[in-house]
Structure formats: C-alpha cells, structure tokens
Structure 1
Amino acid sequence: MRKRTLISAAGMLASSFVLSACGGPNTVNERNRILPAATDNLGNAKVEPISLTIRHTQVKDTQKKRFAMLQDAVKATEAKVPGLSITLDGVEDKVNRFEKLRAEMAAGNPPEIFDLFGGTDTRDYVKADRLLDLTPILNELGLIDKFYSFDEFTVNGKIYGIPMAGYVEGLFYNKKILAAHSLNPPQTWDELLAAAEILKSRKITPFAMAAKDSWVINMMSNTMWVRTAGVESIEGFLDGSRHWTDPSVVEAFSKYDTLVKKGYFQEGSLALAYAEQQNKFSSGEAAFMFDGSWANTPLLDMEKSSIVEDLGFINFPAMGGPGDGFINGGWSNAYGFNKKLNPDQLLAVKEFIRQMYNEPMQKRQLMEEGMPPAMKLQDVSNVNPVITEILNVFSNAKGTFPAYDSRIQTKVREKLERGMQELIAGRTNPVSLMADIQKQQEASNKEEAHTK
C-alpha cells in the first residue's frame, strides 16, 4: 500500500503556499455580476436573502475550540456575502452519520452543507445522486493540489467531499506509570501482554476501555486483524478472496479475547460510554488507551487531565503478521454539499470553502486541537510535543489503511459491533463470531452485487 507522508516533526516544508483566509474573487461583485440585485419601488438596490444550513458534529465539551473555528468561518462568510444567513445545526457524530443524515439522504433533503464520512457513505450518496461534484469548484479556487488526499471522497474521478483534518489511531500510554514499574513502551504483542500482566498484578488497570458504544471496541480490533491478516484483508472480504474465518483473522480476535479473559480492560466496560474511557485514562488510572488522534484534545486539557506531562503515543505493537508497522490513518471526515444548491447558495458555498480551507485555519486547528491537517502546511512550528509524536507515528508508519467501517457494508459492521460486545460479555467465542460475520459478509456481498 502506498505510504501517505504527512509532515515531519522537524517542520519539513510540505509545500510552498500560504492561502489567505479572505482570498479569491470578491463575492459581492461575483454575486452582482451573476445575479444582479433586485430593486424596490423607489429603484434602490436591495439584496435578496440567502440561507444555508451547516450540519456539524462539534457538539461535545471537548470540541469547543473546533466549534469556535467553524463559527469564525461562518461569520467571515456571512460578512463577504450580502444577504447570507447561515444556521448551524449540531448533531452528535454517530447520530448524524448513522441515523439523521442517512434518513435525510433517503428522503432527498439533506442540509446544504454537512459532515460527511468517506468511503462507503460517500459512494452510497453519490449513487443516490445527492452530492455536489466539487471538482470544478476546487479547481476554480486553486485548491485541488493543496490537500494530501481526496481518495476517500473520490468516485469515478470526481471529488464529493473536502476533508477538514486527518486522523491516526494508535496506543496512548502513561509515561509515568510505565516508568514507575520499569516498563518501556511495548513494541511487540508479547511485550504488551507482559506489561499488562505486571500492571494488573500491581492493581493498575492496563487498558482504559468503554464498550457501551460498540464502535469503540473495533478501533483496536481493526488494527489487530490488519496486523495478523494484512492490509488487503478488508478489500478481500468485499471481493470474496478473503474470509473472516481465515486463520489469520481468527488469530487476531482470539488474541483480543485473551485481553478480555485476563481482565486487562477497564472493569464494567460494557456499561461505560466512550467519554468514560478517556476519563479513566486522563485521570491516571490506566496505563494504555487505544484511541484516535482526536483524543489528544481532552487528554491535553490542563483543567481536566492529570496526565498532560505524562502522555505518550505509539503505533500498536507488532503481532508477527504482514500488517505489522501499518497504521489506521487518513482523511475520512469532510464537509459534503447538497447537489440541489441554487446559484446564490452556490456562491455562498464557494465563499465558505475559501474561509474554512486555508493555511491560517488549518494551522489553528493543528495548534489548538492537535488534529493532523488535511492541507499541506508551510508552517508546522511550535506544536505540542505529544502532537509531534502523533505526527511522527503517522509519517513513520510502514503505510496506512482506512477504517474498516469506511469500506464494509452497514449490516456487517452492525453485526461485528454487536458480536464484539457479546465477546466481551462472554456470550460467544472468536471462532463462532467470525463464522457469523462471514455469513453476513457473503449475504451483503450478494445483495450488493444484485444492486449494481
């Protein structure tokens, strides 16, 4: 798999451009040229109102800084576009992705701008003819070559989403806890197990884990089966060349089951929501936590985290398989746009893109939120050391692979999520679980083939 280089911690210049937050054509003149203002009974020009709704997912307390960036971009856009009024509609990420947006797409009435997930979601909505082709707009605004990747939002050579930030998943660890017990950050599966056993014997929770939100479980399991079965396994499930029942896949789930049976996960995890996983770790009560780079925001919050000075981040340890050294990372979250924009709304959307996607905003996002940029930045100086570690892990990985739920069909994902909860509860075993998942995979593949 092609390695996606992000940026080095030394501040390598990824490109030689700087975009102005207010760059591009004058939107006032552009609107007047294309859609001349109407006049009142006295012949005075008046501006017709334009309305846009932006569906965003920055609703958590830990996302206040990112929400403030969106608000600033909205204010700047409204100031540049006469008559424009933008409504911000905040919805929790998973509710937006799996419930609300999906229903709106089925009905054909999504918001004008919305948080969009790449891969399968984007392809499904393109197939339903709901998404605006952004290729000509990105070319017009001179942005087409300024991003690291549009891969997850490209269908048949056309771009349908603009990623705001990158992500990478890996193992956060508490440097203080490991040092106190003469442990080094584990580089292999055996080292990880040995460290977990030592920590548990000394009454320290090895892994912070919240399994009530089922998607959380499969962040680590996804990386584990890629370790043992290889990065091609997910595409193999889809084309039938690989199976969930393959020994190399079952091996990963058996090793996950070992962590469960040995009691290395946070006690009572099935009753705990995602936030409790981060709370357990940030309070210094657990040595490890598998999570995405987005988690660094609450972990580095001086007011809420007790481990700000003790935080470290590494790629998941090697497990002796073909996927060792690869990492789950990329650019999966973006803004998508309703295909049914009127000419006024289209002009406003272009201005929003100018205000949202530029070097100052991307640098601010990196500095304040620690989120890997989607755009190639010229200046990456003065970044928090932990964020530097995250960027280094991303850059130094052998390669990347996408999150399985950006490729796998919905019914397979849902069955795997429920099945992993049952595994943690002791109601199934890896062999039976993988047999059930494979049956659903075959059914979903067959159903998908019939709709093509």
Structure 2
Amino acid sequence: MNKKLSIVATSLVTASLVLAACGNNNEAGKAPGSSDDSGKEKVTLSIWHNYTGDDQRAQTMRSIIEQYQKDHPEVELDVQAIPPDGYRTRLKTVAAANEMPDLFVMWPGVMTKEFQAGNLLQPVNELLDSKPEWKEGFLPGSFDGFTIGQDIFSAPIALSPTSILFYNKSILEANGLQPPKTWDDLMNAVSVLKEKKITPISLGNKAAWLAQSSIFSSLADRVTGTEWFLKAAAQDGAKFTDPEFVQSLAYLQELGNAGAFQEGFNSIDNTQMEQYFAQGKSAMMIDGGWALTNLAASASKEALDQMGATVLPSIPGGKGDPNTISGVVGTGIGMSAKVDGAKKQAAYDLMFAMAGPDAQKRVLESNQLVSYKVDLDKSKVTPIFAEVYELVNSVTRTPVYDGVLSSAVADELNNGLQELLMGGKPEAIAKKVQAAIEKESK
C-alpha cells in the first residue's frame, strides 16, 4: 500500500513539473527581464518621435522603426508619435520633470546643451566607436551640434538648410522676372507681382519659429555677418540693440509692409504654406530642406517641374557672405541618462537602425538631405530635390538663430518677429531680445 502511494505521489509531482514547464514556455507567463526563445533578455524600450506626417521621410522612418520591431521580438517598443508642432513642447515638459523616454528625436545645439546640463542625456561614443566605418561616413562637422567636450550625444539623421528661396519658374517668366539676386531685385518682384494680384511669397508663421529660422536667420546674416551674431549670442562685444541688428529687423519689416506675404500668414503653418506655393498661389516661398520631402509627397509632377531654388538675395552694404544658406545638421536620436543594461544595447541597435548607412540612403531617397556620404540616384528623387542637393553643396552654411540662442531668448525673438510683421517697431523688439539674453546671463 505504501509503495502504491509513493508511485502516485511521484507521478503527481512529475505531472506538476511538466505543467509548470509548459506554463513557462508561454510568453505571457515570462517575468520581466527573462529571455525569449532566442535567449535574449526581454526589454521594454520607449521612443518618442515626430514622424507623423504623410511626407516620404516620415513614412521611411516609421517603416524603419516597424522593421526593427519585427527583427527584435525580444524588445517591446512603446512608441509615441507626436505631431511636429507640439513635439518640442511635449519633450521639454517631460524633461522638466526628469521623465524622459528612453529614446527621443532631439535637435543639435541648444537642446543638446540644455538636456546635457540637466543630466538628462548620456553620450553615444561607445556606439559610434564600435562602428568606425559608419562614424567616418558622416560629413565634416556633422557631430558638432551634438558634442559637448569629448562626449557625442547623437548622430544626425538629416541635414537641414533652413533658408532656401523656392520660386515658380512659370509665374516669374510670365511677369518678366528672374530669381532675385539682390534686395532691389526682390523688392521689384514684390511690387510687380502685387500689381498683378499675385502673392509674392507664401509664409506660414503660425508656430512662430518659421520666420526666424527660414527668413530672418539668413537675412540677418547678410546684414550683420556671422561673427557679429556669434558675439551677440555670447554677449561678447556685441548686443542685439546694435544698429546692424535693428537694420536686419527693418529689412524683414520692409518685406511685410510691401505686402510680400499673403493675408493671414500668422494663422497657417509651414505645411499649409508649402501647399499654397505648390498650388501656384504664390510666386516664391522661403523654407527649409524639410519642404522637399513634403512637396514630394503632396505636389503634382507638373508643380514640381515648375519649381526652382536659390539663396536669399544679397543686401546692399551687408557684412555677410551672400553665397550662403543658414542651416544645421538635422535631428538625431538622443538616449536618456537612465537607460542601462540590456535596454541600452537594444537602444543602440535601434539608434543604428535609424541613423546607420542604410537608413541614411533611404532618407536621402525620400527627398530629405542628409549629413552623410551617400551618392544620390537622381532617378529616385524629384527634380527640385536634385537642384537643392546641388545648391546646398555649392554654398557655405551659416548659423540658425534658434540653434545658437537659448530656448527663452529664441522664443522672445520668434514672438518679436510675429509682432514686427504686424507693425511692431524694430528698436522695441531688439530691446526685448537683448533684455532676455541679459536676464539669462545674470
């Protein structure tokens, strides 16, 4: 009898162990930090991005993220896709609370410096050094805006010239005009087009940054020269109340007073502005390289064929080089200072997937400029993209104001430019910008 009971008990124990083993093979039954069938530790990785649009670059980046998820079943991605207009605000909000996502789209320059100062980032030198061929493929200066001391905090996924003068060839030719090379050429074109009831330049300044980034950064450099701006930004022998800066504001206001922009320009965004131009409702548009991928996705072939591109015109007596375009390397992927262990390796893998050589090629072919050595196959991009590609490679780059100034000072300038175009006085706006930077320097 005792022997039978012993056999039954042994059978029950064996059965329970088999059932437990079966239960452990169920993915839902795995504890956090356990391994998947490949033996890799399962991790959850959060990422925020602003690739929400229908433009080709956004579609490309989303597809890269989706492919990563398929290739890495051990990683559970928590993806937050936030529209571009609200993205920076959302990111700065979580930064203030020290609740950063594991990975996030970030900008070089000021944002990198502010996040690093708040101990919110960690460098990615280890990843870059582990793939030297990839690191060496970037164009000179690509890492500058992401570098503090010896630490590199991201690799750029794009190149962003911000002040390209796009023009409609048919509209200009029909009115006896050429792409403007001088300020007088531009003001004459505005006058001729206004008389014909044609909007000279489309503008979408709803989010306030566009007039600063796409028009003023380059226009002001024509007047003041780059050296003056960098000194003013550093408060090192120059101030924003100096005559040359006030004159820069006056030039922009002159455009506005001449009726260069359509009515309601402060109530539409840059995407609507680009559509306005693509539909032939304006003769020109001053915009950044990001417009190219938007136009490729939304404009007709006929509209794209009519587009040309050049630099902003020269300013009489200006101290800046007229053969320049303001711009920065584009956004990259930043990594939270809190990421470590298996999650860090997963983050490195995703960063490389989004900024590695294959991704750079795909981004270029989505009509988005990159800061990486990639041969352009012109058959895969629009004619206007190929033209801008040649243009950008034939000029030098000057700073973008909000890539150098702190967020608070850049916001003061952005709001000031909106006020300027609605009739505000250049001297008063210059004083506000100077006051903002002095307040920050105390």
User: Considering the TM-score relative to the shorter chain, is it more than 0.5?
Assistant: yes
State the Cα distance separating 1:336 from its structure 2 match. 0.6
Q: What is the one-letter code of the residue matched to 2:268?
A: L
State the Cα distance separating 1:176 from its structure 2 match. 0.7
Shift in CA distance, 307/379, structure 1 to aligned 2, threshold 3 Å: closer
Q: 1:56 aligns with which of 49, 64, 86?
A: 49
Report the 3-state secondary structure (helix = DSSP H, G, I; strand = E; otherwise coil) of the residue aligned with 2:99: coil
Question: Is 1:294 matched up with 2:285?
Answer: no
Could you say which structure has the greater relative contact order, defined with CA pairs below 8 angstroms and 6 or more residues apart? Answer: 1
Inter-partner Cα distance in structure 2 for 1:302 and 1:72: 19
State the Cα distance separating 1:78 from its structure 2 match. 3.2
Matching residue of 1:357: 355
Shift in CA distance, 297/82, structure 1 to aligned 2, threshold 3 Å: closer
Question: Is 1:371 matched up with 2:368?
Answer: yes
Report the 3-state secondary structure (helix = DSSP H, G, I; strand = E; otherwise coil) of the residue aligned with 2:392: helix
Q: What is the one-letter code of the residue matched to 2:233?
A: L
Report the 3-state secondary structure (helix = DSSP H, G, I; strand = E; otherwise coil) of the residue aligned with 1:313: strand
Q: What is the one-letter code of the residue matched to 2:279?
A: S
Whether the 8 Å contact between 1:234 and 1:408 is mirrored in structure 2 is no
State the Cα distance separating 1:166 from its structure 2 match. 0.4
State the Cα distance separating 1:363 from its structure 2 match. 2.1
Matching residue of 2:152: 159
State the Cα distance separating 1:304 from its structure 2 match. 5.6
Shift in CA distance, 265/137, structure 1 to aligned 2, threshold 3 Å: same
Matching residue of 2:27: none
Inter-partner Cα distance in structure 1 for 2:356 and 2:407: 34
Residues 190-247 of structure 1: per-residue CA shift (max 9 Å, x gap): 1111111111111111010123221122120121111100112332122222111222
Q: What is the one-letter code of the residue matched to 1:59?
A: T
Q: Name the count of aligned residue pairs.
A: 401
Question: Is 1:117 matched up with 2:117?
Answer: no
Inter-partner Cα distance in structure 2 for 1:283 and 1:171: 17
Whether the 8 Å contact between 1:161 and 1:334 is mirrored in structure 2 is yes
Query: After the TM superposition, which residues 133-144 of structure 1 pair with which residues of structure 2 at under 5 Å, given as runs?
Result: 133-142=123-132, 143-144=134-135
Query: What TM-score, normalized to structure 1?
Result: 0.83
Inter-partner Cα distance in structure 2 for 1:251 and 1:291: 22
Inter-partner Cα distance in structure 2 for 1:302 and 1:124: 35
Query: After the TM superposition, which residues 89-100 of structure 1 pair with which residues of structure 2 at under 5 Å, given as runs?
Result: 89-97=80-88, 99-100=89-90
Matching residue of 1:412: 409
Whether the 8 Å contact between 1:76 and 1:355 is mirrored in structure 2 is no
Whether the 8 Å contact between 1:200 and 1:206 is mirrored in structure 2 is yes
Query: What TM-score, normalized to structure 2?
Result: 0.85
Shift in CA distance, 93/249, structure 1 to aligned 2, threshold 3 Å: same
Report the 3-state secondary structure (helix = DSSP H, G, I; strand = E; otherwise coil) of the residue aligned with 1:172: strand
Inter-partner Cα distance in structure 1 for 2:35 and 2:371: 43
Report the 3-state secondary structure (helix = DSSP H, G, I; strand = E; otherwise coil) of the residue aligned with 2:128: helix
Question: Percent identity, aligned pairs only?
Answer: 26
Query: As a proportion of its length, which structure holds more helix?
Result: 2
State the Cα distance separating 1:334 from its structure 2 match. 0.9
Q: What is the one-letter code of the residue matched to 2:207?
A: D
Inter-partner Cα distance in structure 2 for 1:441 and 1:95: 25
Matching residue of 1:429: 425
Q: Say which is worse superposed, 348-357 or 126-135, in terms of deviation.
A: 348-357
Report the 3-state secondary structure (helix = DSSP H, G, I; strand = E; otherwise coil) of the residue aligned with 2:226: coil
Inter-partner Cα distance in structure 2 for 1:87 and 1:39: 19
State the Cα distance separating 1:126 from its structure 2 match. 1.0
Residues 260-282 of structure 1: per-residue CA shift (max 9 Å, x gap): 11112111223333333122211
Query: C-alpha root-mean-square deviation of aligned residues, in Å?
Result: 2.2
Matching residue of 2:267: 271
Whether the 8 Å contact between 2:256 and 2:421 is mirrored in structure 1 is yes
Inter-partner Cα distance in structure 1 for 2:219 and 2:188: 17
State the Cα distance separating 1:331 from its structure 2 match. 0.6
Report the 3-state secondary structure (helix = DSSP H, G, I; strand = E; otherwise coil) of the residue aligned with 2:205: coil
Shift in CA distance, 151/39, structure 1 to aligned 2, threshold 3 Å: closer
Whether the 8 Å contact between 2:57 and 2:368 is mirrored in structure 1 is no
Inter-partner Cα distance in structure 2 for 1:364 and 1:244: 41
Q: 2:319 aligns with which of 318, 322, 325?
A: 322
Q: Say which is worse superposed, 322-331 or 301-310, in terms of deviation.
A: 301-310
Q: 2:201 aligns with which of 197, 204, 207?
A: 207
State the Cα distance separating 1:305 from its structure 2 match. 7.5
Q: Say which is worse superposed, 132-141 or 381-390, in terms of deviation.
A: 381-390
Inter-partner Cα distance in structure 1 for 2:346 and 2:194: 56
Residues 311-363 of structure 1: per-residue CA shift (max 9 Å, x gap): 11111111131222221123131111112113111121222233223333222
Shift in CA distance, 306/213, structure 1 to aligned 2, threshold 3 Å: farther
Whether the 8 Å contact between 2:167 and 2:309 is mirrored in structure 1 is yes
Whether the 8 Å contact between 2:105 and 2:334 is mirrored in structure 1 is yes
Inter-partner Cα distance in structure 1 for 2:264 and 2:301: 22
Report the 3-state secondary structure (helix = DSSP H, G, I; strand = E; otherwise coil) of the residue aligned with 1:162: coil
State the Cα distance separating 1:395 from its structure 2 match. 1.4
State the Cα distance separating 1:68 from its structure 2 match. 3.2
Q: 1:230 aligns with which of 221, 225, 232?
A: 225
Q: Say which is worse superposed, 188-197 or 298-307, in terms of deviation.
A: 298-307
Q: Unmatched 5+ residue regions in structure 2?
A: 1-32
